[in-house]
Amino acid sequence: MHAGRGSDDAAVGATVGVATALEDLKTRGSALLVVGTVPEEQYARVSGCMLGDASENRRRLVVERGRSPDVRFADIDRWTPEWTRILHYDVDARGSTEASSSEAAGPEAGTDGPETGPGGLSAARPPTDGPHGSTDVRTAVSGSITDLGVEVSSAIDQLNAIAGGLEPAELRVAFDCTASLLSEHDERTVFQFLHLLASDVRRVGAMGHVRLQMPHNAKIVRLLEPLFDAVVELRLEGTATQQRWHFRDAGVTSEWLSID
């Protein structure tokens, strides 16, 4: 990650601190909170980078409700369950009537609401033909927040077992359902869920990122922030998307950086 060019000692020190903090996250396993309201396409580009490019030996687990733009999966070339898993979550609301009303209303623009295709699966990629189309990589998950947690933890354990023990940062995890969980459950319940998720990610030395489309100074972000090793803040600067990293343990923050 390029942290900008500083001409004085303070700027150089900050650059070194950011690079050191990022390398530390890669070597010990980490959970990141990605915040900020940017278009879905731009978030997908950031998420795709965090999932690793095709030149890297990465396993991936993506947990989503809505449809991911193609760019998120552009660098994934191993569409088998040994390497790639996609969980499509159908939120179980607090009551069946409430859930039915929510589904009938449909997802709001810019949320992570479901866009389902044949068989109830999300219309998200991978495609349905060719080597990318193996349905073995896709699993529809329904039920409670506990059921979701069990499925995610099980997928992590299975990928770890298949690898015979994961190398640091070999597994990349993306979790997009935080906004949906907050709409259906109280903050305490979601806090506990994300605490367990972050623990599962770190336990196998993986790198995970959790999305929450809220400003960095939002109350819920401040509540959840201690669960994570770093917060990645996104913004639009004109037509360009930028990111700024806040490393909690290291106490350093990067400059605003281009995602390109």
**Residue 3 falls inside a structural domain:** no
**Residue 1 falls inside a structural domain:** no
**Residue 148 falls inside a structural domain:** yes
Q: Which domain holds residue 46?
A: 9-258
What digits encode the pLDDT tens for the residues 126-135? 444 434 445 6
**Residue 2 falls inside a structural domain:** no
- Tell me the pLDDT band of 15, cut-offs 50, 70 and 90: low
Contact 107, 115 (CB under 8 A): yes
Q: Is the pLDDT of residue 212 over 50?
A: yes
The mean pLDDT of 91-96, rounded to a whole number, is: 46
**Residue 131 falls inside a structural domain:** yes
pLDDT attached to residue 91:
65
The mean pLDDT of 172-178, rounded to a whole number, is: 97
Q: Is the pLDDT of residue 11 over 50?
A: no
Q: Is the pLDDT of residue 95 over 90?
A: no
Percent of the chain with pLDDT over 90: 57
**Residue 4 falls inside a structural domain:** no
Number of separate domains in the chain: 1
65-69, 74-78, 175-179, 210-214: range with lowest mean pLDDT: 65-69
What digits encode the pLDDT tens for the residues 19-52? 888 888 888 899 999 999 999 999 999 999 999 9
Tell how strand 252-253 and strand 240-247 pair up: antiparallel
**Residue 24 falls inside a structural domain:** yes
pLDDT attached to residue 20:
86
**Residue 212 falls inside a structural domain:** yes
CA 108 – CA 225 distance, rounded (Å)? 25
> Which CATH number covers residue 161?
3.40.50
The mean pLDDT of 194-217, rounded to a whole number, is: 97
